[in-house]
Amino acid sequence: MKLRRPNRAAAERTQLLAAAAEPPGVPPRPEPEESIQHSLFGEILDWMLAPLLLLWPMSIAITYLVAKSIANQPFDHALEDSVTVLAQQVKEVDGKVVAHLPGSARDILRADDVDSIYFQVSGPRGEVVDGDRDLPQPPLDDAERSGRVHFRNENLHGTPVRVAYAWVNLQPLLDPRTAPVPEPRLALVQVAETLDKRAQLANEIIKGVILPQFIILPVILALVWFALSRGLSPLAQLQERIRARPPDDLSPIDSRQVPEEISPLVGSLNDMLARLAHTIDAQKRFIADAAHQMKTPLAGMRMQSELALRQVDPGEIHRSLEQLAKSSESATRLVNQLLALARAENQPHAGVALEALDLAALARDVVLDWVPASFAHEIDLGYEAPDTPLDIAGDALMLRELLSNLIDNALRYTPQGGSVTVRVRESTGLALLEVEDTGPGIAPGERPRVFERFYRILGSSAPGSGLGLAIVREIAQQHGAEIEIFNNPRSTNKKFPGSLFRLTFPPPALPEPDAD
């Protein structure tokens, strides 16, 4: 050992492993609530029909108001004509207002089969000259005292009536240059009519407009239903095409046969299918490579066991058993690495349970575990630690597996008499974990490939399965760490330039401040 900080007790390492495991008695995670599926067809139908059904009563109300306005116009014109004719009969004789309205004209004025007609002629002082005395006077508004006909709504004997009225000037027009203009003497002429004919006409208009809508509305609903069914039919066709596919068909979906609005969805499905096909191919290659790698130790174990059965010499039997033990050890290590890789890959990147831990203490404990193996290889295994604890966010079990694979890889490729150094340090606020050896090194062109599964550098005679660095890369990705490979800057041997594996961990996330 080159340098070692004071070691903690073995019980501390046991507690670290126990803390990484899930403690007993933890309540099970709540199951996610069952999502409620919504019908796209029903939702579009609701958004189309709801405004239609809300606007329909408003349309009826507006139609009724427009119908009343239309119905008022011809009857107002008739009232206006009656007031004009009646105003022409009003004269002033000997200072008295006289309406020369013969009896036949009165009968014609009041002749109506539906409505009741009322008229009234009033003098300048408001006295009733002729007509119905109960007809109320209009408001005294000087702006309306002109020869024009005005309209207002009144109640007569508890019945609503429409009143047309006009002011009649009783004095002749004089020339202001020859005589002074006296104060005008005005008579009031009013004609009122009940609203029965107007209501009947408005009702007829309403019936003519509204009744067809009761026939058109179901037709509109049927057309909307049919249009939505036709518009969403490409989705149903796409669903049938996907269901008709064989289970192993992961080819892209033809996006030319779908509408433009569904093309992004089909593109996303094709991307997912491509990733799934890549994952399945990788799993198939992994299984094939794992089966191939398992053949070698299993074949050696079978051969050595058969050879031991045929031997009679105890020495030969002992050598066969030694080879059998080595093959068994190799097979066991390969199985353990396969399990570690599968465990690391099956851990979702966003779901790793990370906790604050001291990287220096964890690295020191792992180095202690590999000291006996370094003695067996006659390699100097050292550890360089920072002066203060270096906290990161990580999973202790997975990080121990990562560092163990890096140390094992370094010990296998470092010749006897060499050295392997594990270093933990801090640089620009980031935690660095380095494993340095004095082995043959890795060529720059080979460095990206050494992290592939079962990849072995050509010409390498060191035993191994090619899974250790693949496990290292997977665990590093789980922790958001970057891994780099360099030549050993401290090596002076050109034949053995050595390697330096450096992992850079991100700073741990700060805890959220307490609301209190």
Q: Where in the chain is the domain with CATH 1.10.287.130?
A: 250-346
CA distance from start to end of the chain:
49
pLDDT for the residue 119: 87
Q: Is 420 helix (H, G, I), strand (E, B) or coil?
A: strand
More confident of the two residues 411 and 292: 411
Distances, alpha carbon 217 to alpha carbons 146, 208, 210, in Å:
50, 15, 10
> Token digits for 16?
């670290």
Which pLDDT value is given to residue 27?
Answer: 45
pLDDT of residue 21: 37
Q: How far apart are CA 268 and CA 274, in angstroms?
A: 10
The pair of structure tokens assigned to 427 is: 């640089």
Judge: domain 43-173+182-202, CATH 3.30.450.
yes
Predicted confidence (pLDDT) per residue in 150-205, tens digit: 888 999 888 999 999 988 887 654 445 554 555 667 888 889 989 888 888 888 87
The pLDDT of residue 6: 37
Q: What was the pLDDT predicted at 37?
A: 61
Q: Is 391 helix (H, G, I), strand (E, B) or coil?
A: strand
* 109: DSSP letter: H
Average pLDDT of the chain to the nearest whole number: 77
Which range has the worst mean pLDDT, 102-111, 261-270, 423-432?
102-111
- pLDDT for residue 28: 47
DSSP letter, residue 191: E
The fold for domain 1-16+352-508 equals: Heat Shock Protein 90 (3.30.565)
Q: What is the DSSP letter of 431?
A: E
On whether the pTM is more than 0.85, the answer is: no
482 vs 61, more confident: 482
Q: How confident is the model at residue 454 (pLDDT cuts 50, 70, 90)?
A: low
Task: Report which of residues 101 and 315 the model is more confident about.
Answer: 315
Q: Which CATH class name applies to 250-346?
A: mainly alpha
Tell me how far apart the alpha carbons of residues 415 and 411 are, in angstroms, rounded to a whole number. 8
For the ranges 217-221, 464-468, 491-495, the lowest mean pLDDT is seen at 464-468
Neighbours of 317 (CB within 10 A): 15
Average pLDDT over every residue of 482-503: 86
In the numeric block, the tokens 């006409």 are attached to: 201
What band does 432 get if pLDDT is binned at 50, 70 and 90? very high
Highest mean pLDDT pick, 65-74, 135-144, 260-269, 479-488: 479-488
pLDDT in the model for residue 383:
93
Confidence of residue 3 (pLDDT cuts 50, 70, 90): very low
Which pLDDT band, with edges at 50, 70 and 90, does 435 fall under? very high
Maximum CA extent, the chain = 167
Q: If residue 194 lies in a helix (H) or strand (E), which one and from where to where? A: strand 186-194
What is the pLDDT at residue 260? 78
Q: How many CB atoms lie within 10 A of CB 77?
A: 12
pLDDT score of 337 more than 80: no
Length, in residues, of the chain: 516
- For the stretch 233-247, pLDDT in tens is 888 888 888 888 888
- Of the segments 108-122, 319-333, 463-477, 478-492, which one has the largest average pLDDT value? 478-492
In terms of DSSP bridges, do strands 355-358 and 186-194 run parallel, antiparallel, or are they unpaired? Answer: unpaired
| Banded model confidence at residue 106, pLDDT cuts 50, 70, 90 | low
DSSP H or E segment with residue 93: strand 90-93
Domain with CATH 3.30.450 in the chain: 43-173+182-202
What pLDDT is stored for residue 465 in this prediction? Answer: 61
- Angle of helix 396-413 versus helix 314-345 axis, rounded to 10: 140
Q: Tokens for 223?
A: 């057309």
- Residue 231 pLDDT: 79
Look at residue 394 and tell me whether its pLDDT is greater than 70: yes
- Residue pair 357/390 in contact (Cβ under 8 Å)? The answer is no
* 343-378 pLDDT, tens digit each: 666 665 544 567 889 999 999 999 999 999 899 889
* Mean per-residue pLDDT, 286-315: 73
Lowest-pLDDT choice from 208-217, 452-461, 463-472: 452-461
pLDDT at 246: 87
Out of 8-17, 67-76, 193-202, pick the least confident.
8-17
All CATH 3.30.565.10 domain ranges in the chain, comma separated = 1-16+352-508
